[in-house]
Structure 1
């Protein structure tokens, strides 16, 4: 979901109030509520396709207080350290609106609507940023059926405009076609429909999906890795009054009889590679893989050689992969942030194993044997940090990293001396 910035202006407040009175006086018994609302709160103009029903008026040019607040934004440590991205004039303006106008608007919402809970029942709030593609930054308040609270909201913020604390141009008030509570209820109903389809999948424990409703557009957004075209059509027919955006994340989870693993056409490669992750252990229904290439987090105070590791659930893993192989894994759903991480493997690609021309053993066989020869025990994950074949000694050297400990294991290049799995 998107998070924009919001804006409001009360330039025609007297006009709005006058039109409210006229609408009341001209009501007929045949008028419905929607017509009454349109008469009470006519659109002053349209901005970004939204009907603006009230505005703030920039009544002063003395904005010293706002300027001082914006100066603090530009001097903020987070901005200058690049935590929000490249420090550009657009980003500075976006942050200024978020930290000044949006903050003032949220305080007014808390006072008048009772906070998020209260405003969610009558409308939506969001922010728009230039850094996210908006034409201008702004804080938006959308009300489905405007009433006197809109007037109170405008009056509350107009005081701050008059005092030079905020700028009117960054606040927008419009008539929304829906409320956040309605969006949440819609999201729950769609989620229930998708969940039912997920449970009917051949391997329901492996599929993943996400459902949300865009606060700004009201579009129902579904991400998934199992829905068929027929199921997608069925969902949209079940909710015909809503617009859908359905996105497939990666490949579809394999159904009955479909392969969830791919083996290389050429099993052997003469080129040593650090692509993928090593399979370090395998069970009937899971496998532990550790990346062959470490990541460097030293710039942010972390480890300089961090080997990512994930324990994946993978049906019949011991029949499909072997310890020592390098693999590429496509996960289904999120990876739990533990070490090693925890996740579900959707699809596995086994990579060619390295074997020098004069070597009898393959990289996968050597890694498998080196793990068995290692005397290192404990709960720390074992990572292959280096592997090399010495043709002169006819031996392989495998360097392991375990927590902060680095050690080497030597494996003779003799197939007959390989111990049993």
Structure 2
């Protein structure tokens, strides 16, 4: 998948839980949702086409050439190095900003145009800058005049400006998103443990579909939302693991308490407080953590909502799976006991734990130091 730097997003988005710099959890299609998260190109009614004269575009060509020489382009950060990719990036640097300036001039700023239509950058299949207007009027003629002048002077290319008849405006999408969010929020408040809930609501600019990522909605609630907004298609996706229902455990214990095989996965708990625990690189909010978890345990954590990218990071745990405690042959202590001892010395983020049977000691390496702990 190609990645582009774009000043305008494809979807209007509302995400709950967390604030600040964050990344969104990956989502998977939910069973029973009856939908697939796919972006399919739809037919659009082109209402105006700019005319491309037979002239050169030296300034635009220069920008494209400069893009191809950028280290991030050559290193493949934006995707495979192709002329198509360079062209798309050029559109984002040339046609897009110029068209946005013209729209704001004609329609009275960003807010003015958002009441009239939508804008977005196209996909690889339909590249360019797309301008959708719901109810075209005389202002469209003024917009075309400005953009055609830019084409005639060789500043922009006509083939990358698309003006079409839109079924909705940005403001209408925002209002729809707010309506859906209010309905979903009511369902969050009804959930037995709202702190374990994560969801996002967005309206896709390309299709007009409502998209809901969640970890708690029931089939009955999904049907209610579909009926409440039956004029729109709603795509539901499960975000991480489903939040446990009332009475279901949020901690999964191992079938066997110990293992002689050292784990290659999981995080080590270095501290536990009343409603959160610490793994060195992350703080996880988790209801009644002090009652359920112990320092030293190795766990797999299923999260919800936003993961804050500060250090240590911050997130919310929904389900915690405790892995069997590693106890190698010949050892008296277990991994969890060794970690608990090391954690008392604020060792930092533990990167490696080894048991030296010949020396009868454990070696704990972290991002700060390496310590040895006697196996007694």
TM-score (norm 2): 0.85
Does 2:334 match 1:340? no
Residue 382 of structure 1: how far off its partner (Å): 2.0
8 Å contact from structure 2 (residues 241, 303) kept in 1: no
Alignment of 1:104-143 (within 5 A): 104-130=98-124, 135-143=125-133
SS of the counterpart of 1:253?
A: coil
1:356 maps to which residue?
Answer: 328
The whole-number CA distance in structure 2 between the counterparts of 1:396 and 1:82 is 43
Task: Decide whether aligned partners of structure 1 residues 92 and 400 sit closer, same or farther in structure 2, where only a CA change above 3 A counts.
Answer: closer
The whole-number CA distance in structure 1 between the counterparts of 2:158 and 2:205 is 23
2:54 to 50, 60, 63: 60
SS of the counterpart of 1:333?
A: strand
Task: Decide whether aligned partners of structure 1 residues 60 and 258 sit closer, same or farther in structure 2, where only a CA change above 3 A counts.
Answer: same
Alignment of 1:309-348 (within 5 A): 309-348=281-320
The whole-number CA distance in structure 2 between the counterparts of 1:341 and 1:248 is 23
- Paired residues in the alignment total 340
The whole-number CA distance in structure 1 between the counterparts of 2:318 and 2:185 is 18
1:38 maps to which residue?
Answer: none
The whole-number CA distance in structure 1 between the counterparts of 2:297 and 2:267 is 8
Residue 406 of structure 1: how far off its partner (Å): 1.1
Residue 266 of structure 1: how far off its partner (Å): 2.4
The whole-number CA distance in structure 2 between the counterparts of 1:109 and 1:152 is 10
* Runs of 4+ in structure 1 over 6 Å off: none
1:294 maps to which residue?
Answer: none
2:369 to 406, 409, 413: 406
The whole-number CA distance in structure 1 between the counterparts of 2:72 and 2:139 is 36
CA RMSD, 1 decimal: 2.0
The whole-number CA distance in structure 1 between the counterparts of 2:71 and 2:350 is 39
Does 2:374 match 1:365? no
The whole-number CA distance in structure 2 between the counterparts of 1:67 and 1:383 is 49
Task: Decide whether aligned partners of structure 1 residues 391 and 80 sit closer, same or farther in structure 2, where only a CA change above 3 A counts.
Answer: closer
The whole-number CA distance in structure 2 between the counterparts of 1:280 and 1:51 is 59
Gap regions ≥5 residues in structure 2: 1-7, 12-40
8 Å contact from structure 1 (residues 214, 220) kept in 2: yes
2:355 maps to which residue?
Answer: 389
2:68 to 70, 74, 88: 74
Q: Which has the higher contact order (CA 8 A, sep 6+)?
A: 2
2:86 maps to which residue?
Answer: 92
2:17 maps to which residue?
Answer: none
Q: Deviations over 1:100-146 (max 9, x none)?
A: 2222211211221223211110011111131xxxx131111111110
SS of the counterpart of 2:115?
A: helix
Alignment of 1:5-404 (within 5 A): 48-130=42-124, 135-290=125-280, 309-372=281-344, 374=345, 382-401=348-367
8 Å contact from structure 2 (residues 354, 364) kept in 1: yes
Task: Decide whether aligned partners of structure 1 residues 326 and 178 sit closer, same or farther in structure 2, where only a CA change above 3 A counts.
Answer: same
8 Å contact from structure 1 (residues 2, 216) kept in 2: no
SS of the counterpart of 1:258?
A: coil
The whole-number CA distance in structure 1 between the counterparts of 2:9 and 2:222 is 24
8 Å contact from structure 2 (residues 116, 135) kept in 1: yes
Residue 63 of structure 1: how far off its partner (Å): 3.1
SS of the counterpart of 2:305?
A: coil
Larger radius of gyration, structure 1 or 2?
1
TM-score (norm 1): 0.76
SS of the counterpart of 2:195?
A: coil
Residue 329 of structure 1: how far off its partner (Å): 0.4
The whole-number CA distance in structure 2 between the counterparts of 1:75 and 1:360 is 60
8 Å contact from structure 1 (residues 2, 214) kept in 2: no
The whole-number CA distance in structure 2 between the counterparts of 1:231 and 1:393 is 60
2:34 maps to which residue?
Answer: none
SS of the counterpart of 2:175?
A: helix
The whole-number CA distance in structure 1 between the counterparts of 2:309 and 2:161 is 39
Residue 271 of structure 1: how far off its partner (Å): 1.9
The whole-number CA distance in structure 1 between the counterparts of 2:353 and 2:71 is 44
8 Å contact from structure 1 (residues 286, 312) kept in 2: yes
